Every structure is written in C-alpha cells, then in structure tokens.
Structure 1
C-alpha cells in the first residue's frame, strides 16, 4: 500500500448516524480513505453506543475500495478494539496523541497484527526538535507498517494560543510555519510521508482548494477532511499537471546526469525521486484539466 492511495482522508465521529452507510455502502463515491474517530470527534456520552456499533460495521465491510481506519482514544482503548471479532477487516489505526509516553505501548499492541499505522503527533513534542527525532527513530522501527505520519494542526494552534482565519494558510503564520517546517524536514528526510492538516472552513471551497495546493507545495499529502464536499476538490487538486508529468517521464528515461528541459537545468538523479512520486500520483488521480481548478 502507498500513502498516495489515501486521497483526502475523511474523519467521521464514531457515533455518526449514517456511519454504516458511509463505510459499507459507498455513500461518497470518490472517497478513498476514512477515519472512524473515537477521540476528538466523539462526545463522551456516545462512546458506549459507538463501541456497540463498530463491530457490526466491521463485519459488514465489503467496499474494499475505501481504506478504513479507526482513531482510538488511547492505548487502553486500542487494546479493547483489538479484541473485537471482526477487527481484521479494518485497514489500520490512527494512533491519537502519539508521544514518548505511549509510543512503545501502541506499537507493541499492534506488533502481531497486519494493521497499517498512522501515528498522530499532537502534544508538546511538536515544539521540541530532539523529542521529534526520538519519535522518528521509534516510528522507523516499524516503518514497514507506517503509511504516513499525521500531526494535530488544531492541537498545535491551541498550544500556541492562536487561531487562523479562513483566508490564511497555516504557512503564512510564522510560529506554526516554523513548527511544521521542522516537522516535515525531520520525518520526510527519513523517508516518511506526512499528512496535510485540517482546513476548518468547510464551506469555503476556494480557500480549501488553495490550502490543498499549498500542502502539496510544502510536501504534504493526504489532506485531513471534515466534510464530504471536500472529497471531489481534493481528488481534483491531486491530479497531475500535464507539463510536469511529461517532464517527470523525460527525467526518468534519460541517460544524462545533467541536461536542459523546458529552459531549466535538471539533474536527473536529484529529481528522480520526485518524478517517481509524480508518476505514481498520475496513475491514481490522472492528468488535471487546468480549467477545473
């Protein structure tokens, strides 16, 4: 499995009244992945209902075109979920509030399973270069099971006592941009993909598209989405520009180490990894009609 298969990842509260329809009956065509959220998206009073409902949903998963994850509350809850009789039908888990205090416990619980893992780093480690590097090394011990690393964008803003407006990219704000730049550099340089954070203004189509485009430029993939209207827009942005695609093909087929391409100097070895990713994206999402963006 490759992280580019995730597309926009829709987070849905575990108590959602149409959860079975969404997960099992392809309610949202074009949706490639979703997270059943037992953490921030679930009211405490709904927890018992959600737990009773989840195994029935897992039993009836037949739509294999959607990657289905559960965001467990904590390590104790993960242990409880792993005892469900149909948990093997689940693609994997988002490990909420992944930290130095619980990382080893999370990974030990999942060591004997085939589930895919997406650690979500949301706490004080976001602001500590050294601690992020320690978490990175822990994650790398399970790299074959880790699809990508997620971060808590709203958690970061809360800890900074900040809030952004709908017309601002998170990268326009100096402190958040510094935090995320460090986060991206640490994990991506180790070969780990990093997700795109949530854009809370779900009715702002233009702003959302700009946010996904900025994510791509910053090296982020798999936008965290909170409304089904964002599915189509995310998939459209993830389509590949035709000129860039043709350049990627040229870079990968050439025998030259350095050459000119469309009035730019290209070092084929330097650009090969990005070119491979671009071609992989095209296979999943296709070529973009620039008039649609």
Structure 2
C-alpha cells in the first residue's frame, strides 16, 4: 500500500451526496479547509428520485478528475472514495465509468456472505476497500470473528484500508437513535465498538469511528472523539465541514504521549518509569508505533498555561 493510502491519512472522512455540484471544487481547489478524505455517496444520502442526477453528476466529476490527474497528479488531493448503493451498482460503475482517479469504494452492508461477490467485481481493479460493518451480524461476536479470520486469509486483505463502523445503521437495527445528551459509547454501540476493536484490531485491521450526527454540539463531538481515540479508532466519519477541524485536532498527539513513544521505541531497558507511569517496550511497542504514525500526520499538541491543547508543530505540513 503506497503512502497516499495510509489509513492515518483519513482524518475526518466527509460524506458528500453525489447530487452535489461542488465536489470537484472540494477535491481540486481546496474548497473545504483541512479535508483529507471524502466519500461520494450514492446510497443513504441520495433518494431514489435523485439517483439519475447523482449518476450524471458522478460521470461529469470523473471526467474532471481524470483530466486533472493526468495533468498534475493527485498527490495534493484528499483521498476519494465512492459509496455505491449495492453490489449491482458497484459492478455497473466499474464496467461503465473510468474510475482511474478514485482511490476506492466504501462497501455498504458488508458481511462474510457478500465478500465473494464484492471481490469478484473488484479484484481486477486498482480500487482499495473500506467495508462498512452495519448489519445485525455485527452484534454477534462469533460472526465477527469468522469474518475477521476470513479476511485475514483472503486476497482482498492488502486492499482493505480500513473497516468502517456504521453507527447509525447499527442503532437502527435496534430501533434506537443516539440520545442528544450521550455519546455513542453510552449506548449499546459502546459494547459493539469494544468488541469490534477486540476482534479486528487484534488481527491488525484498522477501524474508523462512526459519525456524530450532533452537528452543533462540539462538546459532545470532542467527548466522543476522546473515546474513539482511547479505543484505537483511526479517523471518524464527518457529515458537515464544521466537524473536520475538531476531529483532526483531536487526532493530534500530546507531547507527553509522543515523548513516551520515542522512549519506548528507543530504550534498551525492559521496563522504566516515564511521567509517572510504567513503560514496557515489549508490551507498549505497537501503541508507540501508532502514536508516531499519528504524530507524522497530525502533529503534536502541548498543554498551554490554561490547560488547552495548542499546536506545537505539524509534521505533515
């Protein structure tokens, strides 16, 4: 996987309905500040009546992107994914459109039973995959273990950038909606996220965090982001540009964690004390590697005199 397609580059992954006419500006002309990755959505964000217009817009967008990529490359672009409605639509897109400028597909309603069908239509393409875990099977730890084991051995493994947790769809299967005063971790999704991390992250899969649909509640978003990061999730779905800065500022690494990570990876000691805590390279190495990967993308934050995180340096720019 090339450096452009590192999961650490996802950051706030903004969903944009394919009916929008300004997607090219977001990709080619930095219309949305800080945008690192986006998903052109042909599924839930597009009604049946809007679908013809959405596909027309997508065709025009692809022509613009392919021309721009040929002329100047895509190194400065955000990562670009398409979320098809279903398998049949994905097959149509691949067969009828030039997806050269697209990094990959977000696979909706992904399950073990649909894996062979998805791979059949994607195997011969360059596209990377972000399967979405959002069906009732996701609540079954045995089903998730079987899926993780199958993906480990499957040829698609090297194409999977991240597994996305579909929070709203999963809550819908329980006939629930997130209460406005609670994070997802205070709902049945708390158990679900912990279980998915235990099953998939232990097998070296990356998981990205569900959307926080409380667009105007920055405090709730920040509280949820702290929990996302504590659970090892990489990046978070965004549904509004106003969420991007908050998500990506939380992905910055504290100066304390950065210092610990460097010592863990460079120490010859089996165990040592740092900043009041035990550090044990044998058991903390993978954490330290993840911390440095995050710092490379999002920079390091330090505590100022009032206790607020401020930018110390941004290693990516």
Aligned-partner SS, 1:276: helix
Aligned-pair CA distance for 1:57 = 0.9
Deviations 1:2-58 (A, max 9, x none): 211100100111112322322332211211000001111111111111112212212
How high is the TM-score relative to the length of structure 2?
Answer: 0.88
Aligned-partner SS, 1:189: helix
Q: How far apart are the structure 1 equivalents of 2:97 and 2:168?
A: 34
Q: What residue is the counterpart of 2:314 in the other structure?
A: none
Aligned-pair CA distance for 1:166 = 2.7
Counterpart check, 1:38 vs 2:53: no
- Size of the aligned set, in residue pairs, is 292
Q: What residue is the counterpart of 1:74 in the other structure?
A: 86
- Mapped contact 1:23–1:57 kept (Cα < 8 A): no
Counterpart check, 1:231 vs 2:235: no
Aligned-partner SS, 2:297: helix
Deviations 1:142-196 (A, max 9, x none): 22100110121111111112222233111122x3222222112111111001110
Aligned-pair CA distance for 1:237 = 0.7
Counterpart check, 1:118 vs 2:139: no
Q: What residue is the counterpart of 1:129 in the other structure?
A: 141
Q: What residue is the counterpart of 1:246 in the other structure?
A: 259
Mean Cα displacement is larger for which, 212-221 or 134-143?
A: 134-143
Mapping 1:25-174, distance limit 5 Å: 25-61=29-65, 62=68, 64=75, 65-140=77-152, 141=154, 142-173=156-187
Counterpart check, 1:200 vs 2:232: no
Q: How far apart are the structure 1 equivalents of 2:176 and 2:11?
A: 28
Q: What residue is the counterpart of 1:19 in the other structure?
A: 23
- Mapped contact 1:11–1:224 kept (Cα < 8 A): yes
Aligned-partner SS, 1:88: coil
Q: Structure 1: give runs of 5+ residues left out of the alignment.
A: none
Q: What residue is the counterpart of 1:266 in the other structure?
A: 279
Q: What residue is the counterpart of 1:276 in the other structure?
A: 289
Q: What residue is the counterpart of 1:3 in the other structure?
A: 7
Q: How far apart are the structure 1 equivalents of 2:87 and 2:52?
A: 17
- Mapped contact 2:212–2:238 kept (Cα < 8 A): yes
Q: Structure 2: give runs of 5+ residues left out of the alignment.
A: 69-73, 311-317
Mean Cα displacement is larger for which, 45-54 or 129-138?
A: 129-138
Q: How far apart are the structure 1 equivalents of 2:108 and 2:129?
A: 11
Summarize the Cα distance change of 1:289–1:57 in structure 2 as closer, same or farther, 3 Å threshold.
Answer: farther
